[in-house]
Structure 1
Amino acid sequence: MPKKAKPAGPGTEEQPVPRKQLKAEAAGGPSPFNFDSPSGFFESFISPIKTETFFKEFWEQKPLLIQRDDPALAAYHQSLFRLSDLRSLCARGVYYGRDVNVCRCVRGKKKVLNKDGKVHFLQLRKDFDQKRATIQFHQPQRFKDELWRIQEKLECYFGSLVGSNVYITPAGAQGLPPHYDDVEPGDLLYFPRGTIHQADTPPGLAHSTHVTISTYQNSSWGDFLLDTISGLVFDAAKEDMAFRAGVPRQLLLQVETAAAARGRLSSLLRTLADRLEGSSQLLSSDMKKDFIVNRLPPYHAGDGAELSVPGGQLPRLDSLVRLRFKEHVVLTVKPDQDLSDETQEKMVYIYHSLKNRRETHMMGNEETEAHGLRFPLSHVEALKQIWNNPAISVRDLRLPTDAEKASLAVSLWTECLLQVL
């Protein structure tokens, strides 16, 4: 029988921001964006620029300014976060440093004006009005439903975490010196990673508010190589004695690695590259799990009951089924963490974000938990069938016995990941 995936390692003991049950927010009338699918949303998000044009000409290459003369769209953007929202957020309990920064750009350098502990709105407004300070609010999607809705769709589209920050700056002021971000920000104005930029509020305006939405941090080929190399070595060491042979005596005591050792290591890396060419399944170490464990849960306007209720009747052999919440589920193969290094075997892990806590999203040191199931490697083909087909009969799953087919279907159904049609 499958087992529940083990929880991730513990985080710090700092408690998350208290949060009341939120109601759906009316964000300036009907949304101008298409939320029917992740690709449909992104297409509407960058309209009138075509998706193909964006990735061919701008993504990771050069900035893009998208200007749209649409009053309804402007009203929608203005509704995402307002200065007046800070009063209710402060009443819920937010803290300097973790949730809010108060800062000014003084002689080209950032000066932080934070107090200690809990943020009080009257003091925040005083610093804003009298000290001309910028208010930076971290990860507002934890509280603002429409930003949750937007960022959840972007996480589905990019397959990467999506964070945000709000900056509210008084007229004629500047909060931060020229700087660059190590992530991919974008909202009407797109900047590739590392673009130097600054923002200020022109005179004549009461204040400016802008939201930065950022993605693709820790999503480079280097990150992916670090994630998969351990799996390649794991497979190679089981089958090739060259990987199990001892390194030269006193290698770790040498200041410089000898030419013979460098040559041997180069040869082993070439062997790994050759093995990779003939492999269709990469063992993932952390990236898939880290993404799904830390991302937003599926957006829902009500109490989210559909996330905790199995889909339809209990599946049977003759049931037609399909995967639910596919964009919030990952399948990965990796060594069984319950066994010792000497006896490790591969297992199939299914992780999902249905039970993730929105209030801890992108907060870094907050404790997170992995939700999902694990199965023997013999189940991988049946699971791929479920993944790759819009609907499939339980009886047609590629498993040796009817009992295993039914057990797999019931396990996924109980976890709310399977819909009986």
Structure 2
Amino acid sequence: MAKKKRSSGEPAPLKEQEAAEVPVQDEDVDEFAPGPIDIDPLQFLIAPTAASTFTSEYWERKPLHIPANEERKKFFDGLFNFDELCKMSDALEAGAMLLMDQDPGPKGDALSFEDDVDDAMVRAIGPLMFGRDVVAVRYIDGERETLSAEQFADSDTLRSLYKSSSATLQLHQPQRFVNKLWRLVAALEAQAGCLVGCNAYLTPASGQGLAPHHDDVELFVCQTQGAKKWRLYKPLNGFELPSKCSGDLPQEDLGDPILEVTMQPGDVLYVPRGTVHQAVAQEEGSCHLTISTYQRWTWGDLAGKLIETARDSVGSLPNALPLELRKGLPLGFIFKHGLQAELQAADAAIAARPDAVSLAAGLRALADQLEKGPAELLEPTADNLSLDFLVHRMPPHPCQLPDTGEEPGLEDSLVCRGKNLFRIIPYELSDAEDSDEDEDEEGDAKEAKEKAVVKLVTCLGNSRFTHMISSHDHDDESDDEEHDHEHDHDQLGNCCESDDEMEDEEDEEEGEAEEGGKIEGAKAKKGAKKAGKEEGAAVVAKEEEMGVKEAEKGAEAADDDKENTGEMAEIMEVDVDDEDSGDGNASDDSDEEGDDDDEEEEHLQGPVFSAVFAPVLAEILASTVEKPVPVKQLKVPGGEPQEQLRLARVLHEYGFVITVPTVEAKPSPEPKKGAAAAKKATTEEEAGEKKVGEEEKGKKRKKGTKAEEKGEEEKPKGKEEKGISPPAKKTKKSVK
């Protein structure tokens, strides 16, 4: 398989730098050509089933087996297998050894293997580790066993577990390593608007890795090698769409299967959450991928977030909880309810009723408020719900990012660089951001803080290498489910960058490690995230490189309303290591246990603008190649050309837009009725001109007649001319 190494998802504008740093190898000819998976990934997975049929008849209702078509078979067949896993492990191990300035030994050549591992990935991930990256499990005689192994998942250990111990190897989030999966997952997230995970399962011949169970996510099982027989069962006790995984289930509790199917390469199997399933590899062994989504993404979760958002609203009645829910609980409430109170009460239902009625009244008042003013409550809730997704979503694959083009001028137009890649959210400036202002501008900074601001959030700087991976090491016993999707929002707040202890040892052993992208030794512990940004992502340029503040100082002569836009256009640098919480690997400066939403807001990447710019930003994000927005028509406050150009260039530098030439609008065609009338008028005009010409000839022939006859003839002739010529001229004018 021909491949070309591409470093960490760097967008199109950095291609030249990337080419200089990354060795070029063969590559699939279509690897960077946009295709169906980029345009409509869901339809790619379920074809030939129509999306409307799938969503109305199968989604969250019943499973569906979709046999391979040529397109899917070409994409999935051989995409991942056991040999690829071993090569990947060798490459990452050798790369980590090279970074530590050690002799890589016989595996040193692994860095040139035809896989998707590159230097930035090595810095961000290090060697594959059991628990975090790989889990070895097997299911024999009705019992599931997690096999213990060394800390590092080297290829020799993997081979022993797979071939000698008949273990299923579960690789977490292979989209971190495999470009095609990166591409598919990024496209699905852009389409679904929520996080999408992926796991790979490599099972030896006749093996079964997991006990029967159900998951709390929607699954698309994609076979890549060999064959695997699946048995699917109804949800236990008829409880559909559960919010938690089941754990191992006894075989005798399952009943008869509702679907049995043997998966072949290119096949897709949709499994709704709550559907119990188990699978056994056939004679040649099996490799499949599970693409998972919609964990904690229900109306119930939205309702919880809505109450939370309304509860935190200050001084705004339409956005706040109704008075019934703002009132305090009765004195001693907790002593009247709970297991103990229920056991002690003569009739627990009667005892609980008054408080239940009060709560129900408050919820009804909230429901009424929501229906009367849906935007006031729902819109801020949706923005809050989006924070986790914006922080942790996969950055787009390079083929999904068109080149930004030249720096825009006033005569150019702008097109949003990608659908659903960016989002405008309300934002509150922190004290730290204000402290960056000059002392003599303290008053202006205070005034700016009091004004409403928005943030234009981008995912271009997110790390591909930490997608859907938590920072803590998993215990062997923690992987009870086949699909350990790592969607847990608590875990997602602690994106894993690399093993802290290993990088601490690197600091001690080598001081300043220099390799490829030059990791700063003093910041080696934080190097994973920053390396991911420098090598992998993004178009988002550093503030000093952009010269944003200098550009904005030149425009201070514009309206006061405009001054915040440029001065606040800055990158909010993210250091995930510094904010680890809930595990033993948290750094010393992360003692605070702040609200998850606050932590997520700190990690949002993108420039900040005065809220008066929100309408023009929304217009730009809605632009397409078919409907670009001319720079000189940008509705910036004040409408000054220098402000239009400054905004266009800031958005271009951050990678939000591409520059295209402005095409002059063509005049709209005449309506059919008008065209018919014009045609009729033209016909009348030609007839009139013909009649006038005939009369002129008649005049010449009658030149010798008497003067009184001539007068008698010319009078009516003149009247006829006046009756014909003006309408004819008018018609010509209207046609033009």
Same fold (TM over 0.5): yes
| Aligned-residue RMSD, C-alpha | 3.5
Alignment CA distance shift 1:111-1:25 (3 Å) = farther
SS at match of 1:84: helix
Instruction: Determine the C-alpha separation between the residues in 1 that align with 2:204 and 2:384.
Output: 42
Q: What CA distance in whole angstroms lies between the structure 2 residues aligned with 1:103 and 1:127?
A: 9
* Identical residues among aligned pairs (%): 27
Q: Name the residue aligned to 1:330.
A: 423
Task: Flag the 1:234–1:132 CA change in 2: closer, same or farther, 3 A.
Answer: closer
Give the superposition deviation at 1:196.
0.5
Residue pair 2:407, 2:652 contacting (<8 A) in 1 also: no
Per the alignment, do residues 406 and 261 of structure 1 end up closer, same or farther by CA in structure 2, a change over 3 Å counting?
farther
Pick the aligned partner of 1:148 from 146, 159, 182.
182
Matches within 5 A, 1:192-207: 192-202=272-282, 205-207=283-285
Corresponding residue number in structure 2 for 1:191 = 271
**Whole-Å separation in 1 of the counterparts to 2:153 and 2:360:** 59
Relative to 1, partners in 2 of residues 1:291 and 1:24: Cα closer, same or farther, differing over 3 Å? Answer: farther
Counterpart of 2:649 in 1: which secondary structure?
A: helix
- Output one character per residue of 1:248-272: Cα deviation in whole Å (capped at 9) or x when no partner: 6774642259649647734652453
1:374 to 603, 608, 614: 608
Q: Identify unmatched segments of 5+ residues in structure 2.
A: 1-20, 93-126, 223-267, 337-351, 435-445, 471-493, 497-575, 577-602, 661-736
1:378 maps to a residue whose letter is V
Q: 1:229 to 1:25 in 2, by over 3 A?
A: farther
Corresponding residue of 2:366: 269
Q: For the residues of structure 2 that align with 1:134 and 1:114, how far apart are their CA atoms? A: 13
State which drifts further: 275-284 or 46-55.
275-284
Map Cα deviations across residues 40-62 of structure 1 (whole Å, 9 max, x no partner): 34323321111111111111110
SS in 1 for 2:607: strand
Asked whether the equivalents of residues 353 and 371 of structure 1 are also in contact (C-alpha less than 8 Å), the reply is yes
Give the Å deviation of 1:388: 2.3
Residue 292 to residue 194, structure 1, CA distance change in 2 (3 Å): same
Q: Give the match's secondary structure for 1:383.
A: helix
Alignment-derived partner of residue 414 in structure 2? 321
- CA separation of 1:103 and 1:352: change in aligned 2, threshold 3 A: same
2:167 maps to 1:133: yes
Matched with 2:536 is none
Aligned residue for 1:86? Answer: 85
AA aligned opposite 2:62: K
What residue in structure 1 maps to residue 406 of structure 2?
Answer: 312
What do residues 201-233 of structure 1 show as CA deviations (whole Å, max 9, x unaligned)?
13xx23111111111222212222333444445
Aligned to 2:651: 412
- Matched residue SS, 2:68: coil
1:96 is displaced (CA, Å) by: 0.4
Partner-residue secondary structure (3-state), 2:386: helix
- For residues 50 and 239 of structure 1, the distance between their equivalents in structure 2, rounded to whole angstroms, comes to 44
Which whole-Å CA distance do the structure 2 matches of 1:69 and 1:278 have between them?
43
Q: Which runs of 5+ in 1 are unaligned?
A: 1-19
SS in 2 for 1:168: strand
Distance in 1 (alpha carbons) for counterparts of 2:327 and 2:285: 66
Aligned partner of 1:277: which letter?
Answer: P
1:166 equivalent among 195, 200, 209:
200
Q: Which residue of 1 aligns with 2:295?
A: 217
| Normalised TM-score (structure 1) | 0.80
Amino acid at match of 1:379: F
1:395 aligned residue? 632
Normalized per residue, the structure richer in helix is: 2
Q: Distance in 2 between matches of 1:170 and 1:37?
A: 30
Amino acid paired to 2:142: G
Matched, 1:383 2:383: no
Distance 1:312 1:30, change over 3 A: closer
SS for the counterpart of 2:160 is: helix
Could you say what secondary structure the match of 2:148 adopts?
Answer: coil
Over 3 Å counting, the alpha-carbon distance change for 1:218 and 1:35 in structure 2 is farther
Cα offsets for 1:62-98 (capped at 9, x unmatched):
000011364x743542321011012222221100001
Q: Whole-Å Cα distance in 1 between the matches of residues 389 and 67 of structure 2?
A: 32
- The corresponding residue for 2:147 is 113
One-letter code aligned to 1:116: E
Q: Which residue of 1 aligns with 2:246?
A: none
Deviation at 1:247, TM superposition (A): 6.0
What's the CA shift for 1:278? 5.5
Find the aligned partners of 2:185 and 2:363 in 1 and give their Cα distance. Answer: 42
CA contact (8 A) 1:103 1:135 kept: yes
Partner deviation per Cα, 1:283-331 (whole Å, 9 max, x = no partner): 1454322212211111126xx9x78x85422444x43212112332122
Distance in 1 separating the partners of 2:141 and 2:181: 34
How far 1:237 moved relative to its partner?
A: 3.4
Answer whether contact 1:336 1:344 (CA < 8 A) is retained. Answer: no
Kindly tell me: are residues 300 and 247 of structure 1, through their superposed partners in 2, closer, same or farther at Cα, counting changes over 3 Å? Answer: closer
Relative to structure 1, the CA distance from residue 206 to residue 145 in structure 2 (aligned partners, 3 Å threshold; closer, same or farther) is same
Q: Is the 8 A contact 1:232 1:272 kept in 2?
A: no
CA distance in structure 1 between the aligned counterparts of 2:325 and 2:295, rounded to whole angstroms: 37
For the pair 1:353 / 2:443, whether they are aligned, the reply is: no
Secondary structure of 2:136's aligned partner: strand
CA contact (8 A) 1:139 1:164 kept: yes
Return the letter of the residue paired with 1:193: R
- What amino acid sits opposite 2:425 in the alignment? T
Would you say the 8 A contact 1:133–1:170 is kept in 2? Answer: yes
1:45 and 2:15 correspond:
no
Amino acid at match of 1:297: P
Say if 2:407 and 2:659, in contact at 8 Å, map to a contact too.
yes
Q: Following TM superposition, by how much is the alpha carbon of 1:145 offset from its aligned partner in structure 2, in angstroms? A: 1.1
User: What are the within-5 Å matches in structure 2 for residues 204-283 of structure 1?
Assistant: 205-233=283-311, 237-239=315-317, 251=330, 253-255=332-334, 256=336, 259=355, 262=359, 265-266=362-363, 268-270=365-367, 272-277=369-374, 279=376, 282-283=379-380
**Shift in alpha-carbon separation, 1:225–1:311, aligned structure 2, 3 A:** farther
Question: 3-state SS of the aligned residue for 2:199?
Answer: strand
Aligned 8 A contact 2:202 2:288 in 1: yes
Preserved CA contact (<8 Å) 2:322 2:362: no
Deviations 1:366-410 (A, max 9, x none): 255431122222222111211223211233333331254444323
Shift of 1:336: 4.8
Separation of aligned partners in 2, 1:335 and 1:109: 53
Task: Letter of the 2:374 partner, please give it.
Answer: E
Contact kept in structure 1, 2:198 and 2:291, CA below 8 Å:
yes
Distance in 1 (CA, whole Å) between partners of 2:174 and 2:81 is 11
Stretch deviating more after TM superposition (145-154 or 365-374): 365-374
